[in-house]
Amino acid sequence: MSAKIILIIAASIALISSICVSSSDPGLLQDFCVANFNSTVVVNGYPCKDPLLVTSDDFFFSGIDQPRSTDNQLGSNITVVGVERIPGLNTMGLIISRIDYAPGGLNPPHYHPRSSEVFTVVEGNLFVGFITTNSDMGNTLYAKKLQKGDVFVFPQGLIHFQFNIGGKRAVATAAFGSQSPGLMTVTNALFGSIPPVPAVILAKAFQLNTTTIEWLQQQNWVQNFNYN
């Protein structure tokens, strides 16, 4: 499966390469800007490493073909392959990720404020969808059942999800046209914020009583992604 995953990831990056030039990330002013994690300078991204100290390893990551644990309440695990893993991605305006799903696993409703997403199924069967903003059409759901080899696009800033509808593990990759697309998981943000949103506000918004809201706020809202 390793070779197949590498080929699909390469295809995903090719799909987003044409949109990277119009992404919100700054354009390149040099061949590359390998991230310098030791710098104390604060900028929009990372300062550049001395080019004389750059090596091929700064542009390399191994192990994306390795399954990740889905032993959590959501049954999913997102492995982000960004600047933290490949310092040479700094300022290039793209990252990728691997998503593992247990049977019945869910990547819950979330959105990326700074990037669209090209989503590719590597193994398994997934039900995916996104919801439009409050418009004249209302909040329209665009959803699709996907299988191995299928590609789906999630527009920037729109809430979307993926759910494993198959009887076995599923794997997908996601490519983003930003070095830092951002991630806002809806349930975690609303019910797991610190400090919490006042229960009376959420009760009115969801038309629930404050007891139910307070119970929701006491739950352990799972983070299903990792950067290390």
Over the stretch 124-165, which tens digit does the pLDDT of each residue have?
999 999 999 997 778 999 999 999 999 999 999 999 999 999
Look at residue 21 in the predicted model and tell me its pLDDT: 44
Look at residue 179 in the predicted model and tell me its pLDDT: 93
Query: Residue type at 23?
Result: S
Over the stretch 175-219, which tens digit does the pLDDT of each residue have?
999 999 999 999 999 999 999 999 999 999 999 999 999 999 999
Say what the pTM is.
0.85
Look at residue 13 in the predicted model and tell me its pLDDT: 56
Over the stretch 61-110, which tens digit does the pLDDT of each residue have?
999 999 999 999 999 999 999 999 999 999 999 999 999 999 999 999 99
Give 43-101 as a DSSP string: BSB-PBPPGGG--GGGG----TTS-----SSS-EEEEEESTTT-GGGTTS--EEEEEEE
- Residue 25 gets which letter from DSSP? S
